C-alpha cells in the first residue's frame, strides 16, 4: 500500500470516531438543554465533549501505534539504526 493510502487507512477510523462524537455531543446536548436545568446541562455537555475527544484520541493512538513506536524509537535511539 502506498504511503498516502496507508495514512488514510490508519486515520479513517479516528475520523469516523470524531464525526460520531460530534453527532453524539450535538444530540445529547440538545436533550440536556431541553430537559435538564441549565447549570447541569452545561456541565453535562462539557463532560461529554471531553469524553468524546478522549475517545477519538484513543482510537487515533491505537490505529497509529506502530507508526508512533517507530518514530519514538528513531528519536530515542537514532544511533541504533
In tens, the pLDDT along 2-58 reads 677 777 777 888 889 999 999 999 999 999 999 999 889 999 999 999 999 999 999
Q: Cell match 453527532: residue?
A: 23
Q: Cell match 508512533: residue?
A: 68
3-state helix, strand, coil in the chain (%, to 5): 90, 0, 10
In whole angstroms, give the CA distance from residue 60 to residue 49.
Answer: 17
Per-residue model confidence (pLDDT) at position 7: 76
Say if residues 18 and 56 touch (Cβ distance below 8 Å): yes
The H or E element that residue 14 is part of is helix 3-35
Amino acid at each position: 500500500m502506498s504511503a498516502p493510502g496507508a495514512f488514510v487507512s490508519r486515520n479513517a477510523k479516528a475520523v469516523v470516531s470524531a464525526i460520531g462524537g460530534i453527532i453524539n455531543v450535538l444530540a445529547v446536548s440538545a436533550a440536556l438543554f431541553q430537559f435538564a436545568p441549565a447549570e447541569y446541562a452545561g456541565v453535562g455537555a462539557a463532560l461529554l465533549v471531553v469524553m468524546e475527544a478522549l475517545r477519538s484520541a484513543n482510537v487515533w493512538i491505537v490505529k497509529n501505534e506502530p507508526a508512533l513506536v517507530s518514530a519514538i524509537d528513531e528519536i530515542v535511539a537514532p544511533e541504533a539504526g
